[in-house]
Each structure stands twice: as C-alpha cells, then as structure tokens.
Amino acid sequence: MTNQSHRLDLAFGALSDPTRRAVVMHLSQKPASVGELAEPFAMAMPTILQHIRVLEASGLIETEKIGRVRMCKLRAEAVHETEQWLALQRAIWERRLDRMEAYVSHLQAMEETNDRNC
C-alpha cells in the first residue's frame, strides 16, 4: 500500500515536467533511442538522460541497451494504473453528486406532495 503510494509519487512526479511529458508523448507514438528523444529539445544530452532515468524509475517507461544505443518504450500498464487512480477519485465524487441529485429530487417530490395536500 505504501509501496503503491510511492509508485504514484514517482509517476505523478515524473509527469509534472513538460519535457518528460513530451518524451512520453513521443514514446506513445513509437519507441525511440535517447538521442532521438533528445533531438527536439535544446538541451544537453545528460539532462535528457536524467529525465529518462526519472521516467524509468517511475515505471512509466522501460529501456534496454542494444549495442551502444538505448531504446526506450512506454509501459502502458503503468500509464493505466496512474490513470485509474484519477478515475477512481472522480468516480467516487460523481457517485456522490448523483446521490445528492437523487436526494434533491426526492425532497422536491415531497414538497410538491405537501403543496397538494395543504
């Protein structure tokens, strides 16, 4: 549970940076090497590498070194888990709103009945 919480810390933390989100977007299209990922950014290579490490530590991507290039790819399951946390909170909230709405309709119905009877 605490471990699960830590995974979310890392995942959300990883996604809080625009460069890293751009990397994720790139990887959602297709796997890529560190160099390819670095190209669109005016950024030193070690900086990108650091971002990739952060994403990897979060589990959102995985990497494998083949020869001298390191290929990176998205881990959809991890993205899904993160998404699920948000979906759950929203579901709880929205269920609550539904119940409230139902309750309000109920009250209104009662009131109308009263109007008729008094």
Partner DNA sequence: GGATTGGTTAGTCATACGACTAACTATGAG
Partner DNA sequence: CTCATAGTTAGTCGTATGACTAACCAATCC
Residues in contact with its own copies by the rule CB under 8 A: 5, 8-10, 12-13, 15-18, 21, 24-25, 27-30, 74, 76, 79-80, 82-83, 85-90, 92-94, 96-97
SS3 assignment, position 16: coil
Q: Which two tokens stand for residue 7?
A: 């995974």
Q: Count CB atoms within 10 A of the CB of residue 12.
A: 13
> Residues 27, 54, 55, 74: which binds DNA (CB under 7 A)?
54
- 40 makes contact, choosing from DNA, its own copies, none, with CB < 5 to 8 Å by partner type, with none
- Report the nearest approach of DNA to the CB of residue 117 (Å): 35
Complete DSSP assignment for 29-58 = H--EEHHHHHTTSSS-HHHHHHHHHHHHHH
- Report the nearest approach of its own copies to the CB of residue 48 (Å): 18
Angle at 56 between CA 54 and CA 62, to 5 degrees: 160
**Interface residues with DNA (CB under 7 A)?**
13, 16-17, 19, 33-35, 38, 42-47, 49-52, 54, 65-70
